[in-house]
Chains A and B, each alone.
Chain A
C-alpha cells in the first residue's frame, strides 16, 4: 500500500481531492484495484459507498485491470456513420471479446472513446496512444498482427 500512502500524502489526505487521488491510482496502475477503494475509504474517513460511487460514476475509471495493449475506437457521431460501427464489430469478432473486455491472455483490451475531435480522420482508433486515421475493417488484422495478435480458429 506504499503507492497509496504516497498518493494520499500528495494531497495532504484532504477528502475533497478524492477524485484526483483516484485518477492518480488509475494512472499508476491502469485501473482502480479493489483494495485501494477500501484503503482510501478508511484513511480519508469517507464512507465506502461514497468512494465506490465516484469510482463507478466516471467512465475513465476502470475497476478491472487493462491488458497490455488498449485499443480505443472513437465512438463520435461522425466516426460512427463513417464506418466506426463496423470497425468495432470487426474488432469484437477478431479478438473474441466485447467492448469493455480484455482478451484472456491479457494482450488486448477493447474500448470506445468519446469524440476525439479529429472527425476528418474518421473512422479512427487509438492503440496505446498511437492514432490510426481512416481505418478500414480490412486493415485491422494487419494492425493487430504487428502487436502480436495471431488468428485463432473462430468459435462460431
Chain B
C-alpha cells in the first residue's frame, strides 16, 4: 500500500488496482448483514473457503464476506459472480453442492433459487422482482465489495469523487454542486444538506467539525447499518468531501454501541484510508488536512438528536438543548458543527462524481435522488431496498416487498416509527416524497416502513410507540416527559373500554402542548402517531369509547 501524493498518482494507483481485478473473476459473495450472520452466515464463509481449497480452486475463486445484500427474508444469501447467480436460504450443507455444481461444472443449483408464483424460478439477481424494481446507486456496491478492502472500493470507482473535488473543484464549487443537487437530509428532517453546510462554512471559527450520525435508534430502521457495514468507505469519502467544502479539519462518526462489528469495520476503513493518504495531513498532496474519530452511544434513543449527540461526543449526558442557535453555528465544544446522517453522506460522492444535473433528474421535484427503505412488519420480503423518490408506496409494498405475509390483507403502512404515523391502505398510491408523506402525517423519517395487516390493532401500535418514547425521553423538559405519560394513561383507558370523549379531547390538548413546547424533535413529534391515528382510524377509537357518562 502506497501513500498517494498527487492527482496523477491517484489515477495511476486506481488503474493499477483495476488491472489487478478481473471483471470476469469467479467470486462467491456471502451476505454479512446482521440478519444473515445470525442465521449461519458467518459459518458459510469458512465452509466455502475450506471446500474451495479442498477442490484445488483457491487460485481462481475468491470467497468474500460482504455487507448486507438486502434480501433479508431469504437469507443467508450467496451471490456467484460474474454471472450474478443468486442463491437464497443457503445452509452449510449446500456449500459442497454449490461448489461442485456451479463453480466446477457451471450448472445452476435450481433448488436454491428465488421462486414465486408469478415468475417461477429465477437465477440471476437482476431478474428477481425484489431487485428488478430497485435503483441501487448506493446499495449496489454491497454485493460486490468486501467492506474491509479499500481496493475493492477503489476498483468500483471509490475515492474518484474525492480526487475530483480536491483537485478539480474549489470548496465553493463542491458546496454549489450539493446545493444544486438539492440533497436533503436522510435522517428524518429532510433539511437541505447544502444549506446546512453553508451555515457551518460561513460561521466564524478557527475549528469546525463534521459528524456522521450513525446512531439509528428508530425501531425498524436498519438501512444505515447496511451502508456502514457493507461499504464504510462511501460514507468516509462523502464526509471528507463535505469537510473540504465546509472547511472542517476534524470529523466524528457516531455509532451504536451494540454493533461491535460495525465499529471494527469502520476503524479498519479509517486505517486503510489513512495509509493511502485519503485521510490525515495533506490529503493526496492537496494541502487539505482532515481526520476522523469514532464515538459510541450508550444506548438511548434521544442521543441521536443532533444537540444531544454532540453533548455525548463531549463526554456529557446526551440531553438536547433548545436550538435558538443552531448546532451548525455552535455545536461540539461550542464550535460550528455540521451533522448529517449516514445515508446523506453516502450520497455525496455520487453527486460530485456524476454532477448535480444528473443527480437532480432522479426523484421528484422536491425530493431528489434515491432513498433507502427498510421493510419490516407483515411484509413478505423484509429487508433493505433503494428506490428513487417518486415511486408509489404500492410499488414498494407489492412489487418489491412481494405483498403481505400469510396471504393477509394490507391494513396500513407506518412510516417514521415513533415519530411518524400510519396511513391506511386506501392511500397506498402515495408517491415516496418527503413532503407528500409528511403532509399525510407519515413523515418518511429515516426510512423504516412498517407494514400492518388486517389483524393489527392501531391502538396497540400507538401505545407501543408511546411506551417506547416514555422510556427513551431524556426527561429534561416537562411537555415531553409528563405529556407522553399522561397520553399513555388516557389511551390505556380507551383501550380498556372506559375512556370518554373528554379523554380524547384531553389527549389532543396534550399533543398540542407537546408539539409546541417540547425542547427537541423527539418531544415535538411524540404525538405524531396518535394524531395520525385519530385522523385515519378514528372509528377504532370511537368504537371503544364508553357510552356512560
Contacts and interface: CB of A to CB of B under 8 A. Distances in A.
Interface of A: 16-20, 23, 53-54, 57-61, 75-78, 80-82, 113-122, 124, 131, 133
B408 to A, nearest CB: 12
A60 B465 CA distance: 20
A133 B382 CA distance: 14
Nearest to A54: B317
29 contacts: A16-B314, A17-B315, A19-B298, A19-B315, A58-B299, A59-B299, A61-B298, A75-B468, A76-B219, A77-B219, A77-B468, A81-B378, A81-B450, A81-B452, A81-B461, A114-B219, A117-B259, A118-B35, A118-B72, A118-B222, A119-B220, A119-B376, A120-B72, A120-B75, A120-B376, A121-B35, A121-B38, A121-B72, A133-B39
B288 to A, nearest CB: 29
A77 B450 contact: yes
Interface of B: 34-35, 38-39, 72-73, 75, 216-222, 225, 257-259, 298-301, 314-317, 374-378, 382-383, 414, 417-418, 448, 450, 452, 456, 461, 464-465, 468, 471, 474
A115 B220 contact: yes
B315 A131 contact: no
Contacts, number: 110
Nearest to B223: A117
Given A23-B298, A117-B35, 17 more contacts: A59-B299, A59-B300, A61-B298, A77-B450, A78-B376, A78-B377, A81-B461, A114-B301, A116-B258, A117-B34, A117-B374, A119-B35, A119-B222, A119-B377, A119-B382, A120-B72, A121-B72
Contacts of A131: 38
A82 B299 contact: no
Contacts of B374: 117, 119
A134 to B, nearest CB: 9
B257 A78 contact: no
A121 B72 CA distance: 8
B315 A18 contact: yes
A131 B261 CA distance: 15
Contacts of B456: 81
Contacts of B72: 118-121
B314 A60 contact: no
